[in-house]
Structure formats: C-alpha cells, structure tokens
Amino acid sequence: MSMRPLTLGVAGLGTVGAGVLKLLADNADVVAARAGRPVAVVAVSARDRARDRGVNTAGLRWYDDPVALAGDAGVDVVVECIGGSEGPAKALVEAALRAGKPVVTANKALLAVHGAAMAELAGSTPLAFEAAVAGGIPAIKALREGLAANNLSRVAGILNGTCNYILTTMREQGREFADVLAEAQKLGYAEADPSFDIDGVDAAHKLAILAALAFGRPVDFTSVHVEGIREVSALDFQMAEDLGYRIKLLGIAQRTEAGISTRVHPCMVPQAAPIARVDGVFNAVVAEGDFVGRVVLQGRGAGAGPTASAVVADVIDIARGRFTPVWGSAAGALAAVPSVPMSAHTGCYYLRLMVVDRPGVIADVTGVLRDNSISLESMLQRGRAPGEAVPVVLTTHECQEAAMRAAITRIEDLAAVMEKPVLIRIEPA
C-alpha cells in the first residue's frame, strides 16, 4: 500500500495511550485494510520521558507540552489520552478543534462536563469518543448509529468496572466493602484515590453521555443524581440473595412523562436479569427502543486492550471519512427535554433497619410508612436477640422517592432504630 499514512499525535502514554501504540503496532495490517491507508503515530506527549511504557517511541516527535501536538503540521489527528475535565486535556482538545484537526479522546469527564461547548467548537470536524463509555463495548456507536431509527425509552448500564468488581467480590466472598476495596487497590483494580469510582462520579459522567445520545438532548452532567457503593454491606448481599436479587451499581437514564431522569446508585436487580449476571470488571449497557426492543451489550469496560480497540475504531472512522455529529444530531436539532429530579422518582425500595428487638418496634416503623402512603411488599427479620439490634428488611410496592425520604427521616428518629437505615432501590429486570 503506497498511500500516505494517516498520522496521529498521541497525548498521554499511560494505560490508554500506550495501549493505542501497541495495538497500532500489532494490528497494523488489519487497521490499514479497514482504514484504507496505513495509520502511523508520528508524535507523542507525556510528562516523563524516561519512563518505560512497554512500547517503542523511538523516532517519534516528543512534546513536553501536549497542546503543541495540535500545532504540529505533520499530525492529521490528535488522540487525547491524558484525562480530566480541565487542564491540559481540555486545552489540547480545544486547540486541535480550533485548528480544524479531528480529535479522538477517551475522556468521559471532558465530554460530560464540556461536551456541549466542545461539539459547538468541533462543528463539522470529527470529535470521537467511543472509548469514553464502557471501554471496549461499542456503546456510543450502538446508541448513536445502530439504534438511530428508534425512540429510546431507557438506557441502563454497569458503567464502572471497579465498583462491579468490588460488589461481585463482596457477594461471592461474603466480605465487607472496606476490606474488598483495600484488596482491589493492592491488585491495581482500584486507584489510590478511588473516590471517583466508588462514589459513582465516573459512572455519572458516562451516564450523562449515554443519556444525551439516547434522548437527543444536550449533555447535562449536573442533573445526574449520584450515589456510590460505600454504604452497601455484606448483610445486604445476604438479604438480596434471600429476596432473589443481585446488587449492582447502575446508571439509568429513563424517559418519563415529565422529562428525562438520570441516576447512578446501587440497585437490587432480579437474579434472572441479564445485567445481574455481568460480574467482575465487566460492563454492560442495556438499551430499549420502540422498534428494536431490548438490546444488551456486554464486555470489558476498561484496560489497555479494550480501550485501545475503541480509540482505534474511531481513528478508522476518521480515515474513512465517516462522520456523525458529536451528539448524533446537529446542535440546533437537540431537544430541550427537561430533567426530572430524583425526588419525583417512583419505584420499589429495599429498606434495611437495625432495630432493638422489642415489642412494638415493627408497628412503629410500619406506622410511619403508612403515614407516607407507602405500602409494604414484604418484611424479613433475621434471628431474634431480645434487647439487641437485629436487622429488619422491608421491601415496598411502588412509591415516590420524596415519600420514602420523608418516611426515612422519621424512622431514623425512632428510639429503637440503632443505625442509619440502608435504602437500595429495586429496579425491574
């Protein structure tokens, strides 16, 4: 093949950036065939020149300042693998788009927070981000292109591999959150500062992106309701098992009569649901469309290989001249659908209380629920220990979040309730 290669400048040579270099070296032939021309990295940027990254960077132009990649006349496409919604990643993407250079990025934080402005800046210049959501799963392409003919009603997903690994290990080994988190950090499955993952922020970034694509509206990270997995305990896994559920951290975007609701929180899902069986570091995305029905996608959501697979697929699209507006439709065609606050959510709930085992306690609790128009579906009490705290688990029929919150505030104040109640929302399959 004698065609001039498509040239890349890769900023960031960590897990993702180094993975991209490795994939392009190992799969050069298949990439060239599908791109219609060779693809060659010609310039890179990272902080530490001396670090061994397991890939050959000899002969590549090295920039200490990543933004300089955008001004390199020999670079056709900028690949941003630094990360973060602000700082050098944002400056580089803006500089590249201003220069009319296509950008491929794995950066969900940037797209979730500044995605609307970035799309405006991009105009008809490609800004691709398949790797930003669910790593190797082609979720962006599936929603934006594969399902483009549908009205989507719901998109739900396991969007954070670290949380799914922790929850899976807690369930399988009957261990507590803090213990499993510490081990995950040792094994490299969780960051030294794990808060973005375990507090649900990373999943919320990805959900905001999926919701924008699914419902054709401007990306809106600030309206996502976010809860993480710190409060889930080994006891809740035992109770879930008895009730026929699995506990998963889900991101859910749903079209309701009042608008779009977007939320990330731990959920009880029926054991038979496909998403209940997605374990370990795997991710899944489930979309429901009016003509297609339900589509379930599953795969590796992180790591060098899966992420590089997604980044290079975007590069191939650019090489082929395949172009779709960043958010699926032109900015002017995006609908201003309102966001629904969490207080308006309706659903079923799992509520675990630790109460002193004495007569009248259950009557007090059920009285509060009745006062808030919440009807019980089931009640489970584990063991008896008169005078000591025992777990009581209540599941409810469908009710409003605001009513449930009001009830919990009163239940917390009951003298017999010893710990902060644990609330986990029950999601349909």
Ligand X SMILES: NC(=O)c1ccc[n+]([C@@H]2O[C@H](COP(=O)([O-])OP(=O)(O)OC[C@H]3O[C@@H](n4cnc5c(N)ncnc54)[C@H](OP(=O)(O)O)[C@@H]3O)[C@@H](O)[C@H]2O)c1
Local structure of 337: helix, strand or coil: coil
Supply the minimum distance, in Å, between the C-beta of residue 11 and ligand X: 6
Quickly count: other Cβ atoms within 10 Å of residue 99's Cβ.
14
Query: How many residues make contact with ligand X (CB under 6 A)?
Result: 25
What's the rounded Cα separation, in Å, for the pair 30 and 330? 32
Supply the minimum distance, in Å, between the C-beta of residue 207 and ligand X: 14
Strand 61-63 with 422-426, pairing: unpaired
Cα-atom radius of gyration of the chain, to the nearest Å?
24
Q: Give the residue at shortest CB distance from ligand X.
A: 14
Angle between helices 201-215 and 108-122 (to 10 degrees): 40
Question: 118, 181, 226, 302: which one contacts ligand X (CB under 6 A)?
Answer: 302
48 binds ligand X (CB under 6 A): yes
* Joined tokens for residue 427: 């999601």
Q: Which is nearer to ligand X, 48 or 193 (CB)?
A: 48
Angle between helices 15-26 and 28-35 (to 10 degrees): 80
Kindly state the helix (H) or strand (E) to which residue 67 belongs, with its residue range: none
108 binds ligand X (CB under 6 A): yes
Supply the minimum distance, in Å, between the C-beta of residue 15 and ligand X: 4
131 binds ligand X (CB under 6 A): yes
Binding mask 53-72 for ligand X (x = CB under 6 A): -------------x------
First to last CA, the chain: 50
Part of the chain binding ligand X (CB under 6 A), chosen from 25-33, 46-54, 171-179, 233-241: 46-54
136 binds ligand X (CB under 6 A): no
Supply the minimum distance, in Å, between the C-beta of residue 198 and ligand X: 15
Quickly count: other Cβ atoms within 10 Å of residue 260's Cβ.
20
Q: Is 186 a catalytic residue?
A: no
Residues 6+ away with beta carbon under 8 Å from 272: 429
Supply the minimum distance, in Å, between the C-beta of residue 109 and ligand X: 6
Q: Which of 90, 101, 206, 248 is catalytic?
A: 206
Question: 41, 81, 404, 411: which one contacts ligand X (CB under 6 A)?
Answer: 81
284 binds ligand X (CB under 6 A): no
259 binds ligand X (CB under 6 A): no
Q: Which is nearer to ligand X, 12 or 347 (CB)?
A: 12
284, 274 contact by CB (below 8 A): yes
267, 191 contact by CB (below 8 A): no
Q: Which residues bind ligand X (CB under 6 A)?
A: 12-17, 45-48, 51, 66, 81-83, 88, 106-108, 131-132, 135, 302-303, 307
Q: Which residues are catalytic?
A: 206
